[in-house]
Amino acid sequence: MNSERPDYDLDYEYDVPADAPTYDCSYCGRPFAREEWRTLHYGLKHPSQLNDEEVQAFRDVYGDEEDDLGTFRLQALAALVAIYFCLLMVYALV
């Protein structure tokens, strides 16, 4: 358990649509919409209960998530720079 992060999901009621496929945590029963999210949950909430295979799966998914986050940051920075120059040109011309 990571003591730096507060447990927002303790005792939380999950309202899952009846026909939605879920991936339930086998330790605490929390439902997830994607298998990757459940794998991340295993690594963050139940790290001491995982076997080697599950730890490796968590590391793989965590690495993918880091890559996606890096891509998002670059896209957000590019969008900010584009907006900045558009507004600069509007200010200079009007």
**Under the rule (CB under 5 A), what is the footprint of Zn ion?**
25, 27-28, 30, 45
Minimum separation from the CB atom of position 59 to Zn ion (A): 18
Decide if 35 contacts 41 (C-beta within 8 A): no
User: What span, in angstroms and rounded, lies between the C-alpha atoms of 62 and 65?
Assistant: 5
Q: Which is nearer to Zn ion, 51 or 90 (CB)?
A: 51
Q: Which is nearer to Zn ion, 14 or 85 (CB)?
A: 14
Minimum separation from the CB atom of position 67 to Zn ion (A): 24
Q: Which is nearer to Zn ion, 15 or 19 (CB)?
A: 15
Position closest to Zn ion via CB: 25
Per-residue buried b or exposed e for 15-49, using 16+ beta carbons within 10 Å of the residue's own CB: eeeeeeeebeeeeeebebeeebebbbbbbebbeee
